[in-house]
Chain A
Amino acid sequence: MLKIENLHVSIEGKEILKGVTLEVKKGEIHAIMGPNGSGKSTLSSVIAGNEDYEVTKGNIFFNDENIEDLSAEERAHKGIFMSFQYPVEIPGITVTNFIKTAINSNLKARGEKDMPANEMLKKIREKASLLEIDSRFLSRSLNEGFSGGEKKRNEIFQMAMLEPTLAILDETDSGLDIDALRIVASGVNKLKNKDNATVVITHYQRLLDHIIPDYVHVLQDGKIVKSGDKNLALQLEERGYDWL
């Protein structure tokens, strides 16, 4: 599904990723771990289509299509979703209206009709309850004044609504208390199926107690230095990144 080949990425002339190669197949969960500044967030941003980053070398294929020249919205239409580490606050637009616009934009891009209002409402209710989201929360301004946990839950709620084929969760556990972590992780697990894939980017192992990865990769200084199964994460937790 996702195939990254020898990817080199710079921002403002500074090279952050120095040859990343990664393949994610459908049905898989991959975890990317690494110390601060290793390029984890750069990797997620460049997959999602952030134009601030420049690909200087290498390729990103999504379902065998080179997506380098696609805009962020076009990548979303193809089924790529990113949960932000720091979701943006947008006063003046409610969570509900935002998600309606997003859903209908995606449908339109795929040449389909708008989702009927009652169907939309039903889906919103269903996904909100999956993430234990109160209905009052849905009529608040997007992310404005939300706690860290509310912001992350809202990200996963959007993911649940949009049903992407590839979800990248960028530091989704940061700022979460243990209850919020459990709710978010259980939401992600319930959304998992044999046709979609998840890339979890995290600094700590604790999220991986809840979302069990098939593969763990360690990113250090812009390169994947080690890959393994879930036990690699446990080893890292015990021995730190210096051990590598």
Chain B
Amino acid sequence: MSLKEKLVSSFLAFELDSDINSPVHDIRSKSIKKFEKIGFPDRKNEFWKYTPIKKVLNEDLTIFKKKRHLIDFEKVKDFFLGGIESYKIILIDGVYDPLWSNTTHEGADICILSSVLEKEKYSEVISKYFNTLIDKNESFSLLNSSFSKEGAYIHIPKNLELDKPVEIIHINSGCESSLMLQPRNLIILEKGSKAQIVESHYSLGEKNSISKGSKANHNDPVTNTLTEIHVEENANLDYYKIQNDLETTSIIDNTYIDQKKNSVASCHTFSFGGNIVRNNLNFYQNGSNINSILKGITILGSNQHTDHHTLVHHASPNCESHQEYKGIYNDKSTGVFNGKVLVDKIAQKINAFQQNNNILIGDHSSVNTKPQLEIFADDVKCSHGCTIGQLDNSALYYLKTRGIPEKEAKGLLTYAFANNVLENVKMQVLKTKIKKIIANKIGVSLGFEL
């Protein structure tokens, strides 16, 4: 049985467990039908040309976990931002972990999606926002919608500035072999509200889990995650994704962000590891004076592969978008950047900026980068640029004349190249955490405290 067949037949069992009267039952059923029709994409599909996703979609993936696993606090806390208070939604193998989470219903709703989907009092919100943004021809979005049940639900009411950041942490316990998970987040920022959200993915691998007696499993999990974000008028959102996972873990992330007038939304994607990681990040601008910021740092090694497909749909006049993605590729790692900017005829006077810079360190590393601009308005400013190269020799020489040895000088330049993207990160603890990961990935001592 192929994975697709396995998923389709598992859907029946999945819905047996679910409430068939729930408002999302219809969505799930329609989604699985459509998914069954179109299946998984292969590389003949232009959208997936450079990412051999089928490689990780094997029929051995486990759809339903067998049992619940607990993880030692010492292990979990390593994944926290630390140093500041935060709301936390922690999912272990796709299941909510109330022990280490910190949710709220005071002021804002910060909780799990499953509880919201089942409750009558949320039905209005769900019908207004849930599953309204997704690309209904995209396989993984359809698949996620079919199994959409658990994940984060964040609803910030009008004019509230959230007092602390929210952390959404996905942990793969490694206790079960090769799980395929379908986490689903729904985030709503009402008019004039403000929030900062950090979402991260981690796997523990067999030897790290405390579950005794479990045999060493072959573990190549795949997480197919989907996030819908609604940013209403004058609202302000900073979203950060940390993908720093084991080399066996693959992630497919579809994120859809809808912005209304005068809103500002940023999404930083930090891709530091995994087997195959695919990010489809979609911004829709529906209103004037919107600002969308998309930033990314990718640092890979060994045979890792990361693919960033971004879309900014300028559907309204007088808006801005800024994209800046940087990639550092070691060993045989590979990367893709495809930045699509779509400017509707009515979207006059917009300013869309896009930049993708890459450094290839490994002799066998490679990157495919492609700006894709479709502009139907005539009074706009759209700029794009991409570079693929090595470290700047004149900069290297400059550092060496100051007594910094070649290896350290290269490390410092690589750090500087990536670090430059962090300029707009307002959350200091996160900034420091990312800087430390970057320094660690580069693998040389930098000679200063981070």
Contacts and interface: CB of A to CB of B under 8 A. Distances in A.
A76 B405 CA distance: 10
B448 A102 contact: no
B395 A92 contact: no
Interface stretch (B94-102, B197-205, B219-227, B408-416): B408-416
A71 B396 CA distance: 12
Given A93-B412, A93-B416, A88 B394 contact: yes
Contacts of A73: 400-401, 403-406, 409
A105 B405 contact: yes
A52 to B, nearest CB: 8
Interface stretch (A60-68, A77-85, A204-212): A77-85
A49 to B, nearest CB: 7
A50 B397 contact: yes
Contact of A162 (B400, B403, B406, B413): B403
Interface residues of B, number: 27
Contacts of A106: 403
Interface in B359-407: 392, 394-395, 397-406
Given A76-B403, A82-B401, A105 B408 contact: yes
A90 interface: yes
Interface residues of A, number: 36
B419 A104 contact: no
Contacts of A75: 401
B447 A93 contact: no
Interface in B181-230: none
B403 A109 contact: yes
Contacts of B405: 73, 105, 109
A102 B404 contact: yes
Given A88-B394, A88-B395, A101 B448 contact: yes
Nearest to A73: B400
B448 A97 contact: yes
A53 to B, nearest CB: 11
Interface in A80-139: 81-82, 84, 87-88, 90-93, 96-98, 100-106, 109, 114, 117
Nearest to A114: B447
Contact of A92 (B403, B419, B449): B419
Contacts of B416: 90-93, 141-142
A76 B402 contact: yes
Contacts of B402: 76, 81, 98, 102, 105, 158, 162
A106 B402 CA distance: 8
B395 to A, nearest CB: 5
B446 interface: yes
Contact of B419 (A50, A71, A93): A93
B40 interface: no
Contacts of A184: none
Contact of B392 (A51, A76, A88, A93): A88
B413 A90 contact: yes
Interface string A142-183: 100000000000000010001000000000000000000000
Which 9 A-B residue pairs are closest in the complex by CB-CB distance? A92-B416, A101-B447, A76-B403, A92-B420, A72-B400, A102-B402, A93-B416, A92-B419, A106-B403
17 contacts: A50-B397, A51-B397, A72-B397, A73-B400, A73-B405, A76-B403, A88-B392, A88-B395, A90-B395, A91-B420, A92-B418, A97-B447, A98-B412, A101-B446, A102-B402, A105-B408, A114-B447
Given A100-B448, A105-B447, 15 more contacts: A49-B400, A72-B400, A76-B403, A77-B403, A88-B398, A90-B416, A91-B416, A92-B415, A92-B419, A93-B412, A93-B419, A96-B448, A102-B399, A141-B420, A158-B402
